[in-house]
Amino acid sequence: MEERIGFIGLGVMGKSMAHLLLAKFGNLNIYSRTKEKALPLIEEGASWYSSAREVAQNSDVVFTIVGYPKDVREVYDNMMNAPLEGKLFVDMTTTEPSLEIEIGAELSKRGASFIDAPVSGGDKGAREGTLSIMCGGDDEAIERAMKYFLVMGKNIRHLGPVGSGQHTKMANQILIAGTMIGLCESLVYARKAGLDINEVMATISKGAAGCWSLDNYGPRIARGDFAPGFMVKHFVKDMKIAIDESRKMGLNLKGLELVEKLYEEMEKEGEGNLGTHALYNAIDRL
């Protein structure tokens, strides 16, 4: 018998991931705080519920991808009131490792399994089912979730117990922070030097500077498209978590702190809903 699938959180990433699951498995129970976001999926056959608890009650496997740690806590606190025995919960939000460990422990007491599985690959990866999925949990839970992960991603890694996925995502975000400032400073420099930035990208992308961010965000920058694949405000959240976790380990990551300050300034300027590659404009203003 096919498991009933639940999905909570239909933002830039979640809506595409939910669509892929619905298309593959033919059933999906959904909830988001704004029902309008769910209408396309409802039209495709998904079942709408008015709370996270109702989704949990009517599903065997529940995926969540929401905004901030407080949203994760709110959603899981709500679902804790449902019958949970034998169910599997997978949080794909980027959030605090300690919070995921706490949630996993609470679910275990209720006879449920939990995986923390943050993702990387942006809106494009979510649409195309090519995300990198970083998993923390026990072997049995990962095995149960794998058929769903393979619909949403192409690089699925089991990194260790609950919390390991989030620590891996922090390493990912630290690398992206450095890459993004390099990308944006490079293209601002090229334009100021009077170069055609499309030609510059076509040249340097084939050498040591080639990278995912250059290939995917560079063309958007060149055409002035700063719509989010990943929002500035969510990246600020991620970098703050990474900085906090680093300090707990006795690390002082100066590069990360610099990039976080630049993005925080963008958020203060009302640019929190733009894509992270809009750092190009912020650097151009300096």
Please state, in angstroms and as integers, the Cα–Cα distance from residue 5 to each residue in 8, 26, 57, following that order: 10, 9, 11
DSSP 240: H
CA 89, 94, 97, 103 dihedral sign is: negative
Known catalytic residue: 169? yes
Distance CA 172, CA 156 (A): 14
Distance CA 44, CA 91 (A): 24
CA 52, 162, 142, 165 dihedral sign is: positive
| Ordered DSSP codes for 120-170 | ESHHHHHHHT-EEEEEES-HHHHHHHHHHHHHHEEEEEEEESTTHHHHHHH
- Give me the catalytic one of 35, 37, 70, 169: 169
Catalytic residues: 169
